[in-house]
Structure 1
Amino acid sequence: MNNPGPLKGLAVKIKEDLPRFWLSEEEEIILSGKIDWLEYLPETDQVHIIDFKTGKNDEDVNSLQLPIYHLLVHYCQHRTVAKASYWYLESSDKPEEQKLPDLAWAEAEVLAIAKKIKTVRKLDHFKCPHGEKGCWACRPMEQIIRGEAQLMGENDYHRDVYVLPSKEKSALGEESSQLI
């Protein structure tokens, strides 16, 4: 790494392995997630949320990643959030600061989507908003449902882990890798 940037300084670790809080006790919705990095800013006793990006594409402007992280940091530790950034590891030597999401907006937006997800799960009626062909997020789940993936077991959070067949072929036409 050419520039360790904030990684060379102090960081904040939230004590819970999987930070979580009640987004709505009435609706029985808990928000949880792993935050990539919390840089400690000693001059103000605040934190800087950093989300590492390993792909080639920039994060969608409508992504809820930073709003969710902002909510988790706000409710799961005591320091205020000074700023939030994406760090595109493939293309940048430093984090790129983003507009800090408004907490009230983030909470309302995430809760509205969580309620929809809860309803869809209760009705067992999953429908991709992108239509019949689905989207990149639905395709792996559809492969699992069709029995095209191998169940490997459970992770530490009691979630099923599957291996999906790779579409990548070597020059010899054989499978060259597996997605895990």
Structure 2
Amino acid sequence: MAKDKYTAVWVSHSSISDFLACPRAYFLNNVYRDPHSGHKITLMSPPLALGQAVHEVIESLSTVPTEKRFHEPLASKLEEVWKKVSGKRGGFFDPDTEETYLQRGKEMLARVLNHPGPLTNLAVKIKMELPYFWLSEDDNIILCGKIDWLEYLPETKSVHIIDFKTGKTEEDPTSLQLPIYHLLASRCQQHPVSKVSYWYLMRSDAPAQQKLPDMEEAQKKVLSIAKKIKLARQLRRFKCKRATGCRVCRPLEAVIAGDAEFVGIDEYHQDVYILPRPSDDDRASTIL
């Protein structure tokens, strides 16, 4: 089959995670388009807003020469970036909650500023806006994704993949994120990958190195799932395993049902929605 990226099935860590969690959620996040706007839909929440803003600030440093990387205060950069997610656009219903999340972001960036570690070293920037490669030309499948940070290690002429985490929980050991990033980094730039790490910004002063994924095993596993996604798209079969929906797809179903609030269009031309704030009755509890 001739390569045609416009008819190919594109997969990424996020879309694969959606599919594995719930095929219906995959459909709503990656295939469905609003019949009126023609846009895809996405749900925003405070944790997502925080992660988006902090990632944008840190990732912007990779394009700055090492000697100038920390000249501008990171807190000031965050406040500028935060304007994109302020108020309901970030899923915030009151100023106090928003301020709590903003301060949490500033604390993470203060940690980075005080313990910059690998961020003071040379960084590799992949030239593609969205790195991608043909996972399988025969199956017309493309793997894509953005890697948070590639530290260049001159002593081995290799790169260190770093993924920043802004949440409280650790990444699942079975996650395909680092295997996918390993594949992407190996195919989209010329330096071999020698290290992979997660950096838990809420609590750690340095990245936590992980086992280097096996390339052959990663390729095989990702392609197997990608083929299932392609088949589901061909058959238009995206069914949740639960008759009433699951915790992954139900919030997105609320958007389709008109039970979510439209708050804007993001930089990827997706319609952004937020779910209604839980009422006091919904949040009430009883001590037994």
Q: The TM-score by the shorter chain falls in which range?
A: 0.7 to 0.9
The answer to which of 115-124 and 43-52 deviates more is 115-124
Specify which structure has the higher proportion of helix. Answer: 2
Match of 2:255 among 133, 144, 167: 144
Match of 2:270 among 130, 138, 160: 160
Q: Label 1:102 to 1:131 Cα distance change in 2 as closer, same or farther (>3 A).
A: farther
Question: 1: CA distance between counterparts of 2:243 and 2:168?
Answer: 25
| Amino acid corresponding to residue 275 of structure 2 in structure 1 | P
- Given the two structures, how large is their TM-score scaled by the length of structure 2? 0.54
Question: 2: CA distance between counterparts of 1:151 and 1:122?
Answer: 32
SS of equivalent residue, structure 1 residue 116? helix
Contact 2:263 2:274 in 1 (8 A): no
Greater RCO (CA < 8 Å, at least 6 residues apart): 2
| Amino acid corresponding to residue 136 of structure 2 in structure 1 | S
Q: Does 1:69 align with 2:181?
A: yes
Stretches (4+) displaced over 4 A:
129-133
What's the RMSD between the two structures over aligned residues? Answer: 2.2
Equivalent positions of 1:20-169 (< 5 A) are 20-128=132-240, 132-136=244-248, 138-149=249-260, 150=262, 152-153=264-265, 155-156=267-268, 160-167=270-277
The answer to which of 138-147 and 69-78 deviates more is 138-147
Q: Label 1:39 to 1:128 Cα distance change in 2 as closer, same or farther (>3 A).
A: farther
Structure 1: state its 5+ residue gaps: 174-180
Q: Label 1:140 to 1:45 Cα distance change in 2 as closer, same or farther (>3 A).
A: farther
Q: Does 1:10 align with 2:122?
A: yes
Q: Label 1:153 to 1:86 Cα distance change in 2 as closer, same or farther (>3 A).
A: same
| Amino acid corresponding to residue 155 of structure 1 in structure 2 | E
| Amino acid corresponding to residue 145 of structure 1 in structure 2 | I
Contact 2:183 2:215 in 1 (8 A): yes
Contact 2:251 2:275 in 1 (8 A): no
Contact 1:151 1:160 in 2 (8 A): no
Contact 1:21 1:30 in 2 (8 A): yes
Contact 2:166 2:202 in 1 (8 A): yes
Question: 2: CA distance between counterparts of 1:126 and 1:145?
Answer: 15
| Amino acid corresponding to residue 271 of structure 2 in structure 1 | V
Contact 1:143 1:164 in 2 (8 A): no
- Given the two structures, how large is their TM-score scaled by the length of structure 1? 0.83
Identity %: 55
The answer to which of 39-48 and 116-125 deviates more is 116-125
Contact 2:124 2:150 in 1 (8 A): yes
| Amino acid corresponding to residue 178 of structure 2 in structure 1 | L
Q: Which has the larger radius of gyration?
A: 2
Q: Label 1:24 to 1:100 Cα distance change in 2 as closer, same or farther (>3 A).
A: same
Q: Label 1:36 to 1:129 Cα distance change in 2 as closer, same or farther (>3 A).
A: farther
Structure 2: state its 5+ residue gaps: 1-110, 283-288
Tell me the matched-pair count: 168
Question: 1: CA distance between counterparts of 2:149 and 2:225?
Answer: 25
Question: 1: CA distance between counterparts of 2:201 and 2:222?
Answer: 27
Contact 1:71 1:103 in 2 (8 A): yes
